[in-house]
């Protein structure tokens, strides 16, 4: 499973957003192609549409939880509760390891940057952002979940 963590980081470093990188690294486990995973998770990068809200890597982690445990019947209250409990457990693990779930806080921004063109992915971009680490941690938390290790 270590290769899935490495794949998530490699996807991010190749230019995909944080959410796409996490989801695409595990997509085949849930019957999705990489392209489908990239599309379904595309809007969650940059803290959801670059609004700097919930970290996109964490959003990707939560999307994986939905693929694994999401309720598919409207009246499945127990299924919903089980999924929400898993998301809360994953969120707590992410916060414990990274200090926050909020993109702006993780980036050290005082307020959201607003909507604008994403920056070019250069060595300087990667050097000033902790995003690759967030992707790695989200993927690692999911691998630990799959292995049954307490996060």
**Residue 129 predicted with pLDDT over 90:** no
Mean pLDDT of 2-24: 97
pLDDT tops 80 at residue 122: no
Cα torsion angle, 10, 13, 15, 18, sign: positive
Q: Which among 1, 9, 143 is positioned nearest to 64, based on CA atoms?
A: 143
> Residue 54 — φ and ψ, nearest 5°?
-65, 130
pLDDT in tens, 23-70: 999 999 999 999 999 999 999 999 999 899 999 999 999 999 999 999
> How far apart, in whole angstroms, are the C-alpha atoms of residue 138 and residue 68?
15
| Least confident range of 76-80, 136-140, 145-149 | 145-149
Q: pLDDT class for 149, splitting at 50, 70, 90?
A: confident
How high is the pLDDT of residue 38?
97
pLDDT above 90 (res 121): no
**Top-confidence residue, 150 or 104:** 104
Percent of the chain with pLDDT over 90: 80
Round to the nearest angstrom and report the end-to-end CA distance of the chain.
15
């Amino acid at each position: 499973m270590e290769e899935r963590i490495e794949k998530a980081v490699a996807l991010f470093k190749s230019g995909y957003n944080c959410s796409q990188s996490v989801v695409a690294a595990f997509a085949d486990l849930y019957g999705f192609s990489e392209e489908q995973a990239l599309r379904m998770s595309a809007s969650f990068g940059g803290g959801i549409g670059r609004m700097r809200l919930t970290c996109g890597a964490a959003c990707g982690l939560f999307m994986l939880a939905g693929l694994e445990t999401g309720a598919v019947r409207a009246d499945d209250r127990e299924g919903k509760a089980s999924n929400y409990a898993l998301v809360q457990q994953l969120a707590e693990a992410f916060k414990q390891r990274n200090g926050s779930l909020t993109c702006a806080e993780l980036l050290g921004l005082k307020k959201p940057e607003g909507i604008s063109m994403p920056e070019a992915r250069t060595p300087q971009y990667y050097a000033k952002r902790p995003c690759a680490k967030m992707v790695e941690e989200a993927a690692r938390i999911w691998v630990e979940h799959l292995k049954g290790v307490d996060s």
